[in-house]
Amino acid sequence: MTEWRQLVVPGVVMLLLISLAPAGATATTVCVEIVNCALESGGTVTVPVQITNATGLGGCDINVTYDASVVHVTDVISGNMELLTHMINNESGWVRMNAINITGQSGDAVPANLKLTATGDAGSVSTLCVADATLIDPGYEIVPQVTGDGTCTIFLNGDADSDRRVDMHDAIYLMQHLLGVTGFEEIVPEAADVNGDGEVTSHDAMYLAKHLIGISGYEKLM
């Protein structure tokens, strides 16, 4: 082999290998995650345990931990996979669940939904930590994944400034927030949507002010 061939041929082979390599570097990562949620003091909410970007997901074993002084898991409900077993320990603050799809599930999977009940006071927050997650394909091969934790915030309805009281400062804070005033960025939307229409707008600030003044028709914060 001539000298130039000794140099060029390995280079061409290398380029071919690179071009034929699996698209792992650009593949979308499978993620086990729980979205943030908020619930009223003493209230309940249901949040999904999500597996995003799955391709041929055959089963999963997921352990979620939480602060039991803030929130309890009171039920585990099937999502769009077959939920096999689940265990709840509200003393130590963990829930474990197993789900399968024997044909292999693609897209976004929900192995289970967690029904949460607030045990903590308004203002308390618990991480919903995906402490351990094992995913397999229908051939029992491990599916690589990353995890994303969520948070669960206990709120007091109408407490827009999160000081654990509901007063006229909250209506003012909410207006400042909506106007984009610096220092008023933080808000718990579920606490601020006092008219219960699913949006946080100036109507909520007006509703809250009328509620606090005692105007008829505004007795109840939604």
Q: Does 163 bind Ca ion (CB under 5 A)?
A: yes
Beta bridge partners of 115: 46, 75
User: Least distance (Å) from Ca ion to the CB of residue 200?
Assistant: 6
User: Least distance (Å) from Ca ion to the CB of residue 170?
Assistant: 4
- Residue placing its CB nearer to Ca ion in the complex, 33 or 204: 204
Q: Does 197 bind Ca ion (CB under 5 A)?
A: yes
Polymer length of the chain:
222
- Among 161, 191, 208, 221, the residue binding Ca ion under the rule CB under 5 A is 161
Report the alpha-carbon angle 27-35-119, nearest 5: 155
What amino acid is encoded at 161 in this protein?
Answer: D
User: Least distance (Å) from Ca ion to the CB of residue 199?
Assistant: 5
Nearest to 176 by CA among 160, 164, 163: 160
Per-residue CA distances from 58 to 53, 84, 99, 104, 128 (Å): 14, 13, 9, 5, 24
Q: Which of the ranges 57-65, 125-133, 175-183, 194-202 carries the binding residues for Ca ion, by CB under 5 A?
A: 194-202
Q: Does 141 bind Ca ion (CB under 5 A)?
A: no
- Among 128, 195, 205, 221, the residue binding Ca ion under the rule CB under 5 A is 195
Q: Does 190 bind Ca ion (CB under 5 A)?
A: no
Q: Does 165 bind Ca ion (CB under 5 A)?
A: yes
Q: Which of the ranges 3-11, 34-42, 55-63, 200-208 carries the binding residues for Ca ion, by CB under 5 A?
A: 200-208
- Among 72, 159, 190, 191, the residue binding Ca ion under the rule CB under 5 A is 159
Q: Does 170 bind Ca ion (CB under 5 A)?
A: yes
- Among 193, 205, 211, 221, the residue binding Ca ion under the rule CB under 5 A is 193
- Residue placing its CB nearer to Ca ion in the complex, 61 or 163: 163
Q: What is the contact surface with Ca ion in residues (CB under 5 A)?
A: 159, 161, 163, 165, 170, 193, 195, 197, 199, 204
